[in-house]
Amino acid sequence: MDELSDRGPARLRFELSSEDDGSALVRLRGDLDMASADELDAAAKPIIAASPDRLVVDVSDLRFADSSAIALWVRWANGVRRLEIRGPSPLLRRVIERMGLAETLGLTT
């Protein structure tokens, strides 16, 4: 969702962790698109299946996200008690808000 650059696509990197308070954290870096969404979804499947009290998706280092990223987050939101998108870029925030998904995706700063 961020502006295009001459650097080309940045491979998606992610870190998954569980917290003692029953929440889970997914940290994303690079580009999340239809080419990488399935890999991320497969890696996060055990965390989502455990239905954590809260799933935090830190997107502060995400360079690009397409509609497949948003669709993935909506699916995750349906599988956990509470989903929170943390640190979206201004453009990603606007897209999520205009789609009417700010509450569903627990949009925070």
Residue 5 counted as domain residue: no
Confidence of residue 20 (pLDDT cuts 50, 70, 90): confident
| Confidence check: pLDDT of 3 > 70 | no
Q: How would you label 50-62 residue by residue, b for 16+ Cβ within 10 Å and e otherwise?
A: eebebbbbbbeeb
Confidence of residue 51 (pLDDT cuts 50, 70, 90): confident
* Residues spanned by the domain of 46: 13-98
Closest CA to 56 of 107, 2, 95: 107
**Mean model confidence pLDDT for the chain:** 91
- Give the per-residue pLDDT at 10: 83
> Helices 37-49 & 67-77, crossing angle to 10 degrees?
10
Confidence of residue 9 (pLDDT cuts 50, 70, 90): low
Residue 91 counted as domain residue: yes
Residue 109 counted as domain residue: no
Token pair for residue 14?
Answer: 């992610």
Residue 1 counted as domain residue: no
CATH of the domain at 43: 3.30.750.24
Question: In the predicted model, what is the mean pLDDT of residues 44-59?
Answer: 94
Question: In the predicted model, what is the mean pLDDT of residues 2-26?
Answer: 79
Distance from C-alpha of 57 to C-alpha of 32, rounded to nearest angstrom? 12
Beta-carbon contacts of 7 under 8 Å, excluding residues fewer than 6 positions away, are none
Q: What total of structural domains would you count in the chain?
A: 1
Distance from C-alpha of 14 to C-alpha of 62, rounded to nearest angstrom? 10
Residue 54 counted as domain residue: yes
Percent of residues, the chain, with pLDDT higher than 70: 91
